[in-house]
């Protein structure tokens, strides 16, 4: 049995348990020993972060070879147009190479808790939301993709990783699931 923790990582929290600069970390929200994140979310991103005590499970979730789709709700500056959505769906070329095609669509503002601090409506009077599903995980990829098509990201929330959903978890809340998948046998027991 493996333990899987689904945490709603708040905005401005590091995806690690320690920080020598005094920033908020996962330890401020989750008191579980021997667990590690399956992937990362940037300090200025929020949403679903999966953690486990099972290294093989972490690998299956996080490694790009397994292509777990990741669903993001993205608040962008402006109202994203059809041409930008089409470009995201085809895949775009960033400085580190072309992206895989993404699933992209406009959505209504999702029912999520206000961010602290919120996106400033005076600086950004016109915003829109889109849902973006990608199957790779480059550094700051979603932000770079939306900026590339002319709609910079203002708020980024990961809503799902593979079959796991953020659901109604509030920022800082978590839930635990027990997975009954068999762990690989050790070499000694295979003899």
Active site members: 42
* Number of Cβ atoms within 10 Å of the Cβ of 13: 25
Spatial contact of 45 and 141, defined as CB atoms under 8 Å apart: no
**Mind giving me the DSSP string for 81-113?**
-HHHHHHHHH--EETTEEPPP-EEEEEPPPS-P
Nearest to 162 by CA among 148, 147, 145, 179: 179
Joined together, the tokens standing for residue 85 give 């959505």
C-alpha distances out from residue 84 to 14, 71, 90, 104, Å: 31, 18, 10, 9
Nearest to 158 by CA among 110, 89, 191: 110
């Amino acid at each position: 049995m493996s333990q899987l923790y689904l945490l709603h990582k708040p905005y401005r929290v590091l995806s690690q348990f320690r920080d020598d600069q005094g920033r908020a970390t996962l330890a401020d929200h989750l008191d579980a020993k021997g667990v590690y994140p399956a992937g990362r979310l940037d300090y200025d991103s929020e949403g679903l972060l999966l953690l486990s005590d099972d290294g093989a499970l972490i690998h299956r979730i996080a490694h790009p070879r397994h292509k777990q789709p990741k669903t993001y709700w993205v608040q962008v500056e402006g109202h994203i147009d059809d041409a930008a959505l089409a470009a995201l769906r085809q895949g775009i070329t960033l400085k580190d190479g072309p992206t895989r095609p993404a699933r992209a669509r406009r959505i209504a503002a999702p029912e999520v808790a206000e961010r602290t601090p919120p996106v400033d409506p005076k600086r950004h009077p016109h915003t829109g939301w889109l849902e973006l599903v990608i199957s790779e995980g480059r550094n700051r990829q979603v932000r770079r993709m939306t900026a590339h098509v002319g709609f910079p990201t203002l708020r980024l929330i990961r809503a799902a990783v593979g079959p796991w959903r953020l659901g109604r978890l509030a920022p800082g809340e978590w839930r635990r699931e027990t997975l009954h998948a068999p762990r690989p046998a050790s070499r000694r027991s295979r003899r």
